[in-house]
Chains A and B, each alone.
Chain A
Amino acid sequence: MMFVAAECTPTSFKDFTLIMPAISVGNVGQLAVDLIVSTLNMCRVGYIHTDCLIPMAGNNPYATFAENANDLSTNAEVYSSPELRLAVLQIRTPIIQTKSKKFCKLMVSWIKASGFSRTVVLSSSHAYQRDDQQLLGSPLRYLQTPSMQKLTGDRLKEMEWKEMETVSTFPGVTDSEQRLYIPGGGATKGLFTDSCAEDIPLVVVLIFCSEGDNIPDAFTLLNHLNTWLHLVDAPAQTQPKWRIPASWRLLFGSGIPPALF
């Protein structure tokens, strides 16, 4: 089973933009998606119910007041904002390792069946595996499928976004085969290659980062995305204001025993 609509909400994603995270190093994509849902006050319209993800349940991660605090939320939920023609998928647990391929297939077929006009995958990659050319300059990269290229043309290049470099299969050997390599990117590469094959307009936006407090990375990635999609208005030369959801509290554990001091 895959997409299940939440109670009494007719859903159509025709010509919507879909933003989804890849489960990747530092959970940057997921953090960024949390910020989008929380800031745009998006409504949950359905669930992705699949055996590819580890089960999880909790109360509403985006609660703003006591009345909406006790809505059960699951491991993968779809949020929507019809006026922005935007749908956001949040995934809250890792993909079961042996089911990564199946998950990519399911996602791609759902994207295709729902009629999204374009899909943006927010992702990250191990900073320590960058090669010499990647070490300098911006840590942000993008990748687009051929059918996305047809849609946007050179828009991203004109915005001075940098395309993800390919690496040689056998480093040091001249003229060796070039390949796409996204270490720590989880299902990013699978989603991208499957979308290329299925002719789906999809963009991967990723950041090189290391495991740790990845909140700053999420803000960097999202501000970068906002320069293209304008999810939130920001006056020139200022950064947009994102609302941090309630569930980000206690990221580093519980309170400290007062007897320590």
Chain B
Amino acid sequence: MATFFGEVLSVYSRAVEEDDDDLDDENEDERIHREIEEKREVHIVWCPEVAQSLEDSGSNTLQCSDLIIAVGTNAAGFLSAYVLNTESWDAVGHVSLWNERSRGSSRQSIAPLPGEPACLFYRHRDNPAVLVCQSTCYIAEDQLFQWTEKVFGCLQKRGLSVMVLSDSPVAEYKTPDYLYGSAVPFLRSLKSSASKGQALCPALEQPNILTGLPAAVLSHCQVHQIPAVLYQCYTDVISPDSITMETYKPALLCLSKLVKLEPCLSADVLRKFAIITEAQSNLYT
């Protein structure tokens, strides 16, 4: 394509890869494809107690009333600060997967190290039907469907409801008005058809869409008629940040009905989680 000034630009298609038209010669590569697929498989690793109760259940599923999924460092930080801050939560499992951007979490048997991008499950001691998942690692497009199939495969569908908290850069938010700095960060919601409750913030407006793990989870819930609600926070800060984390506060109202929360609603708690990355990114330390 030539521009107005005559430079020739190569244009990439939004829709198709240029080399996807001839797939005829793939037979000889099938073995390689299969090996890659095996390598990219998603594994859910439960701790021995949960694995045992999965086996004992007969249907190979856990009784779960609420699944709370946090995707992204801010959403995960928010849960760490407000929900997982008491002693009564146990780490009960993790997801192990391999892709170009998450190589570390391929060690299946070993739980991820603290601070390492990962996907971890927690369970409340007094109310084991509440499951929390913190996902801070990158999950590739071809692994998302499998992730939802495997995680939801471990849970009883009956009586389950899902809440997703997710981070997103504000640059991805489309609006006819120009967004001023003071308006950011803000929260938008999306519900599956089975979810009857009122959302705590405005709905996500068309033409905005979700992608990644939140989209995969919501699609799964929509198709399987599981009530699910998502709170997406649009922020202009990439690193964990206390103001962004605080944006999720409306969700606490729902969470406090599920489990007893410590009444420590101060910004200091959030700052603790933000500071960890701040120190590393400082040029002078």
Residues of A within 8 A of B (CB): 4, 6-7, 23-27, 30, 47, 49-51, 54-61, 63, 69-72, 74-75, 94, 96-101, 181-186, 189-190, 210-212, 246-251, 253-258
Q: Is the CB of B215 within 8 A of A57?
A: yes
Q: Is the CB of A55 within 8 A of B177?
A: no
Q: Which residues of A contact B21 (CB under 8 A)?
A: 181-186, 189
Q: Which residues of A contact B16 (CB under 8 A)?
A: 23-25, 94, 184-186
Q: Is the CB of A51 within 8 A of B146?
A: yes
Q: Is the CB of A255 within 8 A of B175?
A: yes
CB contact under 8 A between A25 and B13, given known A69-B203, A254-B178: yes
Candidate in B33, B206, B225 with the most chain A CB atoms within 10 angstroms: B206
Q: Is the CB of B174 within 8 A of A253?
A: yes
CB contact under 8 A between A4 and B211, given known A24-B15, A72-B192, A254-B175: no
Q: Which residues of B contact A249 (CB under 8 A)?
A: 176, 206-207
Q: Is the CB of A59 within 8 A of B203?
A: yes
Q: Answer whether residue B86 sits at the interface, using C-beta atoms and an 8 A cutoff.
A: no
CB contact under 8 A between A56 and B209, given known A100-B20, A186-B16, A190-B23: yes
With CB as the reference atom, state the residue of chain B lying closest to A75.
Answer: B219
Partner of B193, one of A7, A250, A253: A7
CB contact under 8 A between A57 and B219, given known A70-B203, A96-B142, A186-B20: yes
Residues of B within 8 A of A (CB): 1, 11-18, 20-21, 23, 26, 33, 36-37, 141-142, 144-146, 149, 173-179, 190-194, 203-212, 214-216, 218-220, 222-225, 230
Q: Is the CB of A184 within 8 A of B13?
A: yes
Least CB distance, B18 to chain A, in whole angstroms = 8
With CB as the reference atom, state the residue of chain A lying closest to B214.
Answer: A57
Q: Which residues of A contact B20 (CB under 8 A)?
A: 97, 100, 186
Q: Is the CB of B211 within 8 A of A54?
A: yes
Least CB distance, A64 to chain B, in whole angstroms = 11
Least CB distance, A98 to chain B, in whole angstroms = 6
Which secondary structure dominates where chain B touches chain A?
Answer: loop
Q: Which residues of A contact B144 (CB under 8 A)?
A: 54-55
With CB as the reference atom, state the residue of chain B lying closest to A23.
Answer: B15
Candidate in B15, B23, B205, B215 with the most chain A CB atoms within 10 angstroms: B15
CB contact under 8 A between A56 and B211, given known A24-B15, A27-B14, A47-B222: yes
Beyond A182-B21, A246-B207, A257-B178, 17 extra complex contacts between A and B, CB < 8 Å: A25-B13, A26-B15, A56-B215, A59-B205, A72-B218, A98-B142, A99-B142, A181-B21, A186-B21, A211-B13, A211-B14, A246-B206, A248-B207, A250-B207, A254-B174, A255-B175, A255-B178
Q: Which residues of B contact A59 (CB under 8 A)?
A: 190, 203-206, 208
Least CB distance, B36 to chain A, in whole angstroms = 8
Question: In whole angstroms, how far apart are the Cα atoms of A162 and B141 in the complex?
Answer: 38
Question: In whole angstroms, how far apart are the Cα atoms of A4 and B221 in the complex?
Answer: 12
Q: Which residues of B contact A75 (CB under 8 A)?
A: 215, 219
With CB as the reference atom, state the residue of chain B lying closest to A26.
Answer: B15
Partner of B190, one of A58, A94, A211: A58
Q: Is the CB of B218 within 8 A of A60?
A: no
